[in-house]
Amino acid sequence: MLGVERLHTLTLTSMANLASALWGQRQWKEAEEMERRVRETRQRVLGHERPDTLMAMGNLAFTLKSQSRNKEAIPLMETCSCS
């Protein structure tokens, strides 16, 4: 049987995968909402500098950039590259 922590990790991975699928379908708003939830949860549970958290932050930045929202995307990208 899987522990609660492992189930939580699998849920976040599934959410990130769903966000990626939404992004691929150009459903930017839905992808962004899911990516924000994943990033916020990973920051809270894992911490700010963990690889999974940074990847979630990078995914959100990429989605924002895809929508030409560079003012929001660039600070996230800088945070990812500096950590």
pLDDT in tens, 30-58: 999 999 999 999 998 888 889 999 999 99
For residue 22, pLDDT beyond 90: yes
Q: What percent of the chain has pLDDT over 90?
A: 73
Q: Residue 59: inside a domain, yes or no?
A: yes
CB 60 within 8 A of CB 75: no
Query: Is residue 19 in a domain?
Result: no
DSSP string, the chain: ---HHHHHHHHHHHHHHHHHHHHHTT-HHHHHHHHHHHHHHHHHHH-TTSHHHHHHHHHHHHHHHHTT-HHHHHHHHHHHHH-
Tokens at residue 74, please? 């660039």
Does residue 40 sit within a domain? Answer: yes
Distance between CA atoms of residues 64 and 43, nearest Å: 19
Residue range of the domain that includes 78:
28-83
Reported as a pLDDT band with limits 50, 70 and 90, residue 3 is: low
Q: Model pTM?
A: 0.86
Residue 6 lies in a domain: no
Q: How many structural domains are present in the chain?
A: 1
